[in-house]
Structure 1
Amino acid sequence: MAKRNGSARESFWKLFSFLKPYKLSLFLSLISAFLSVVFSLFLPILLGKAVDKIAGKGAVDFLGLGQILRIMLLVLLLAVGFQWLMNQLNTYLTFHVIEDIRKKAFSHIQAAPLSSIDAKEPGELLSRLTTDIEQISQGLFVLLNQFLQAVFSILETAFFLFLLEWRIALILLALTPLSFFIAKFISKRSYLYFQNQSKSRGEIAAFSTEAIGNVKLLKAFMQEAPKESLYQEKNERLSQYSMQANFYSSLVNPFTRFLNALGYALVGGIGALFCLRGSLSIGQLSSLLAYATQYAKPFNDITSVITEIQNALAAASRVFAFLEEEEMKQKTEERELQKPVEGNMELSGLYFSYTKNQKLIQDLSLSVKSGQNIAIVGPTGCGKTTLINLLMRFYEPNQGGIFLDGIPYDKLSDHSLRSAYGMVLQDSWLKSDTVLENIRYGSPEKSREEVIAASKRAGCHHFILQLQKGYDTPLPEDGGNLSQGQKQLLCIARVMLRDPAILILDEATSSIDTRTEEKVQRAFQEMLKGRTAFIVAHRLSTIQNADCILVMKDGNVIEKGSHDELLQENGFYKNLYESQFQGAET
């Protein structure tokens, strides 16, 4: 349990570090909270003096009472004013700190290795970036607005109590350690359940995202009932963790309220005895009772918000765990590619595997001259897409190096490297924007005329004009009602507009019809002239004109050569080629 509580402290100090850029606002907030409490606590003293002015039979001091009431009004206005200022400053601090956390989280996603992002479920990651950060926001506001003010109130109330009657003050202070002990004992145990609650919430988000994103597949395979059952199981687990967390945290408030009521009774009883002895006036007793209530109130405030703070710290531990994951290695020396990029590639002794126990690419070496078209073929899982990931520097090789125009990859900036590439994947992606902006994605400087020209080359100009607003038609995320083939044509037009030095085509025409594919292939052939290209293909008929074909199996290049040369070798490629055409004939 101690270890869990330690992680809560760590999360607190990490969260506090985000307040450092706003030291002045934080300082003013603390001063405002301090003065607000001071003026609020000065009112009971004035109230006691007012009571003494009317306590004597037939001796009411109206002049003195009026003066005290005017002072009370002024003090009340000052307390309210500083309370308002504190609220404004805390709102400013909360929103800016949360904004900074969101910015850092999104920036970290861009800087994190793709392997780190791939290892997480999208829904779980989304939960950390939305739900967990929102929990931090609520907890931070409560911490600044109520918790710190409550601490000031406890300390200042104790000070005023000692000014009035030190013996009664000692009685109240004797109960304080017991309140803190109960709160600490319970909160240490509730933090574990809040962590489980936050984790379980992330699992439900991941499960929901997967189910919603694949709803057609669920219906096609009639998996609605099993999925609903599994969701119910996860939902019940979250409900159980939530109930346990809230049960433990809710125990604090009744215990502290009991101790506070006990303290109030002791002050009233002992204070009455002091009044009978003449060592305490009725007005002073009234002030002491008011302070006894005021001294109890902060403890109740603290215990009532401890649930939100614990929940926020549990959420913060998940967010900071993500933020502290290792980012891509910073290069000690960054170089830019010379323009125009020639496209000479050299792969030397590459070794790569996603996991240590499962080897994939081993000792791969390849030399590609500028303008050569390299086709990559092989059975599923042989490493074709992995090789593309290495070329795009989405993953770092475990061993060996890649050189572009003689410059090692690890010396090139990511921007300079990827600006030389244009990539069309089998899975198309469109953003929520107009058709024009989707094609211009990555090339914002291109004109409308250039976009139209690229669309004509890609074979999508005709169907774009048939849309409601043509190139200005807004598209929802992932293309909406566009067919898979139409979405892929837009992605092809996007790359053609970019006009890169090196092309990567990963089954770029797999989702379009044969007639359109012929048009696009002609456009690609025109575009491939003079450019280095890596073409991943399953249909071997589309890569017969490639300068070199790499045949991969189990992460290794087992055959290499032109289409005719590989057929003459009577090896693995020939078997693949003949099996495709025999299957087509059959």
Structure 2
Amino acid sequence: MSGTQSSRPAPVGPRGGPFGGAGAPATKANNFGPSAKRLLGTLRSETPRLIVVLVFSILSVTLSVIGPKLLGEGTNVVFAGFLSLQMPEGATKQQVVDQLAASGNQDQANMVAAMDFVPGAGVDFDQLARILALVLAVYVFSSIFGWLQARILNGVVQRSMHRLRLQVEDKVHRLPLSYFDRVQRGELLSRVTNDVDNIGQTMQQTLSQVVISLLTVIGVLTMMFIISPLLAVIALVTIPLTILITVLVARRSQKLFVQQWKTTGVLNARVEETFSGHSIVKVFGHQKEVESDFRTENEELYRNSFGAQFLSGVIMPAMMFIGNLVYVAIAVVGGLQVAAGLLSIGDVQAFIQYSRQFTQPLSQLGSMANLLQSGVASAERVFELLDEEEQTRDDDPAETAPDEASRLEFEDVSFRYVADKPLIDGLTLAARPGSTVAIVGPTGAGKTTLVNLIMRFYDVDSGSITLDGVDTRHMTREDLRARTGMVLQDTWLFSGTIRENIAYGRPEASEEEIVAAATAAYVDRFVHALPDGYDTLLDDEATSLSVGERQLITIARAFLADPRILILDEATSSVDTRTELLIQRAMSRLREDRTAFVIAHRLSTIRDADLILVMENGAIVEQGSHNELLAAKGAYWRLYNAQFEGAAEDEDLVSVPTVPLAAPPTTAQIVVEALAESEDAVE
């Protein structure tokens, strides 16, 4: 689109307040399972890398699980060595066992019988060194595989979030204007930024940990059953308790996490609109009301966040408590089994380590419930955006109008924003090439809606709008809007230089064309007073420029675009009277052989329009030239008299003559002629 910004209709819902309202987003259902499944579906294209991650995770966990068993063997070597020093050298192991049994020390006899040693030989340091070297290698390779899987998984998550952001960005551009009319900007920004970032952080922190924790539980449980089925059964008591606690807490915290992110969106909307309208807040003395609303919403966010984090934070201490109980049970029962000769000291040591390894991933899985709840809550909000109904697709193949097409016709057009509230009914009009059609009427009459229909921000409910006989609904929106330039009362400039903001109308324009357009719109007059001229950087609010100067830049942007259809919605309302006169002179050249639609409240600015349409309640109640409508003494006459208090008959008001050209003027011609007439006007 060649225009500066989109036009928006009057709100159709409850949007009170000085900034268009701060209604809360619609309540969302908590649907954890399907949302979590859909979130995992975003990783589908990364399946090969995920398989590699899984393989590395299995290798890392397997090696880390083997470690305690090997350390237990080392402990057995040390213990057996020291025990052998207590035995008479030269005796056999069986002799020592029989002697202990004969003396009534059956428990010691059983324990010694379960050990492998040579009486009097001492510690076998060679065997101990081999075991420790093997343990070192096991843990080193376990760490390497763990690092590799974490690195690959990090790339998987970041690429997935990159794709998700692209999907959200593409979706925003496919949404109809009606979506932006009913959703606050702060709420939309919160979904696009905060919620997507939260999803990425959740996946980054939980995916790897979940895989590692589950594999660790399986591996450790296997080793525990190999060492002692009895102790393994005792350890298994933690699983149902862990599941029970996690489910009970998650059920209560999920709603709070959803509410937390919804409240974050509401608070962001409040901050965004307050900062955008900061001067209005000051002028009308609403600081206390704004501060009160902020405190209320901030307090609600605090309560939701605190409740969600507190409930989810209960899981980890509960898991640790259960783990400690199991640890005590294993230590007692394991000690009894060692005394009975059913287990070695090393096996008990390994089992105690495994019990810690077993309860730790369970605790981690429980503590990750808060992250998962928060991430899935954000995912639901993002998926809700992605599932919004899109604008209708362009025809494929689409029709196209001639390059010089600029004749617009409305044929029995009807439209309404709300099904049961008619706005425009049976509208018929024709705007011929080179003509200027002015649209006037009271607020809410449908003037801006007419522009929305021309630009296909909305499609008509019935009837048709044609461009040189081609129904605009059968053209692509890009094609239609590329032929159209729009300048609105509310200026829109982006962060960048003045040159870049003007070139937004035609990025491939040369420096000479940019300067020519700026000169035609009288931007060149004030640019040279700025420190960096055309390279002056503007923020998104362009606070370094006056409202009128910002408006002139948007007009220069439309000049540079050189459109076939020009839409001006109170485009000169923010400039002084003399500058307005000069801009009108330049625009009169720009409008030659082009169709221009001018929405105006200051009726003096549209006296020379070829056709003036007077709209009331979505219908054209009068049409004609300025003099014809005054003579009719109808709706236009009433508007004119109300504005000028009886000055309607004053024929001495400044009129802006137009000079017909043989062919559509270039921007350079516009500049030369506008400057020449501006000098005459000054004189």
Asked if Structure 1 and Structure 2 have the same fold, meaning a TM-score greater than 0.5 normalized by the shorter chain, the answer is: yes
Alignment partner, residue 47 of structure 2: 23
Cα distance in 2, alignment partners of residues 100 and 398 from structure 1: 36
Match of 2:338 among 269, 275, 282: 275
Corresponding position of 1:491: 554
Could you say if the C-alpha distance between residues 169 and 4 of structure 1 is closer, same or farther in structure 2, counting changes exceeding 3 Å? farther
Q: Does 1:441 align with 2:504?
A: yes
- Counterpart Cα distance in 1 of 2:293 and 2:541: 28
Q: Give the one of 69, 75, 83 matched to 1:45.
A: 69
**In structure 2, C-alpha distance between the alignment counterparts of 1:5 and 1:515, rounded to whole Å:** 58
Question: Does structure 2 conserve the Cα–Cα contact (< 8 Å) formed by 1:336 and 1:416?
Answer: no
| Deviation (angstroms), 1:470 | 1.3
In 2, Cα distance between equivalents of 1:420 and 1:566: 31
Aligned partner (choices 440, 445, 461) of residue 377 of structure 1: 440
> Retained in 2: the 8 A contact 1:109–1:117?
no
User: What does residue 230 of structure 2 align with?
Assistant: 167
Deviates more, 1:536-545 or 1:515-524: 536-545
**AA partner of residue 85 (structure 1):** L
Query: Does the 8 A contact of 2:395 with 2:475 survive in 1?
Result: no
Residue of 28, 31, 36 corresponding to 2:60 = 36
Report if aligned partners of 1:440, 1:446 keep a CA contact under 8 Å in 2: yes
Structure 1 residues 53 and 263: alpha-carbon distance in aligned structure 2, compared to 1, 3 A threshold: same
The separation in 2 between residues aligned to 1:131 and 1:5, in whole angstroms, is: 20
- Mapped contact 2:459–2:473 kept (Cα < 8 A): no
> Pick from 380, 392, 395: which aligns with 1:329?
392
Q: CA deviation at 1:305?
A: 2.4
Q: Which runs of 5+ in 2 are unaligned?
A: 1-26, 86-121, 651-683
- Judging by fraction of residues, say which structure has more helix: 1
Which stretch of structure 1 is more off in the superposition, 63-72 or 168-177?
168-177
Cα shift readout 1:189-213 (whole Å, capped 9, x = no counterpart): 1000001111111111111111111
Which residue identity does 1:63 align to in structure 2?
A: D
Q: Find the counterpart in structure 1 of residue 99 from structure 2.
A: none
One of 93, 96, 109 as aligned partner of 2:156 = 93
d(CA) in 2 for partners of 1:401 and 1:274?
90
Cα RMSD for the two superposed structures: 1.8
The letter of the residue matching 2:39 is L
Aligned to 2:590: 527
**Residue of structure 2 in register with 1:462 after alignment:** 525
Question: Matches of 1:399 and 1:23 in 2, distance apart?
Answer: 49
Q: Select 2:130's aligned residue among 67, 80, 94.
A: 67
Structure 2 residue 545 is matched with structure 1 residue 518: no
User: How far 1:578 sits from its partner (Å)?
Assistant: 2.2
Task: Say whether 1:290 aligns with 2:314.
Answer: no
Match of 2:617 among 544, 547, 554: 554
Quote the offset at 1:369 in angstroms: 2.4
Cα deviation for residue 109 of structure 1 reads: 1.1
Shift, 1:565, TM fit: 2.5
Aligned to 1:135: 198
**Could you tell me whether the CA contact under 8 Å between 1:334 and 1:413 is conserved in 2?**
no
Determine if contact 2:401/2:467 at 8 Å carries over to the other structure.
no
CA distance in 1, matches of 2:558, 2:264: 39
- Could you say if the C-alpha distance between residues 194 and 188 of structure 1 is closer, same or farther in structure 2, counting changes exceeding 3 Å? same
- Kept after mapping to 1: 8 A contact 2:231/2:333: yes
- CA deviation digits over 1:528-552, x for unaligned, max 9? 1111111111111221222221110
CA–CA separation in structure 2 for the residues paired with 1:581 and 1:221:
29
Q: Residue 256 of structure 1: which of 310, 316, 319 is its match? A: 319
Q: Which residue is 2:184 aligned to?
A: 121
SS at match of 1:529: coil
Determine the C-alpha separation between the residues in 1 that align with 2:159 and 2:187.
25
How far apart in 2 are the matches of 1:251 and 1:69? 39
Q: Structure 1 residues 5, 78: closer, same or farther in 2, change over 3 A? A: farther
What's the % identity of the aligned pairs? 37
- Equivalent position SS for 2:186: helix
Counterpart of 2:115 in structure 1 is none
Q: What is the one-letter code of the residue matched to 1:250?
A: G
Query: Which of structure 1's runs of 4+ aligned residues deviate more than 6 A?
Result: 3-6, 583-586
1:182 aligns with 2:245: yes
1:348-427 aligned within 5 A: 348-427=411-490
1:189-239: per-residue Cα shift (whole Å, max 9, x none)? Answer: 100000111111111111111111111111111111121112111111111
Question: For residue 8 of structure 1, what is the amino acid of its counterpart?
Answer: F
Max Rg structure:
2
Post-superposition offset of 1:354: 2.2
- Residue pair 1:142, 1:309 contacting (<8 A) in 2 also: no
Q: CA deviation at 1:175?
A: 2.9
Rounded Cα–Cα distance in structure 2 between residues aligned with 1:258 and 1:562:
87
Residues 433, 4 of structure 1: alpha-carbon distance in 2 compared, 3 angstrom cutoff? closer
Q: Secondary structure at the match of 1:60?
A: coil
What amino acid does structure 2 have at the position aligned with 1:408?
Answer: D
Matches of 1:500 and 1:337, distance apart in 2: 16
Separation (CA, whole Å) in 2 of partners of 1:24 and 1:38 = 21
Tell me, yes or no, if the aligned pair for 1:4 and 1:188 is still in contact at 8 Å: no
Letter in 1 for 2:557: R
Query: Is the Cα contact below 8 Å between 2:30 and 2:254 reproduced in 1?
Result: no
Do structure 1's residue 574 and structure 2's residue 637 form an aligned pair?
yes
TM-score where L is the length of structure 1: 0.96
CA deviation profile, 1:517-575 (whole Å, cap 9, x unmatched): 11100011111111111111111122122222111011111112222332232211111
Q: Give TM-score scaled by structure 2 length.
A: 0.83
SS at match of 1:478: coil
Work out whether residues 438 and 494 of structure 1, in 8 Å CA contact, stay in contact via their aligned partners in 2: yes
C-alpha contact 2:77 2:124 (8 A) present in aligned 1 = yes
Q: How many residues align?
A: 584
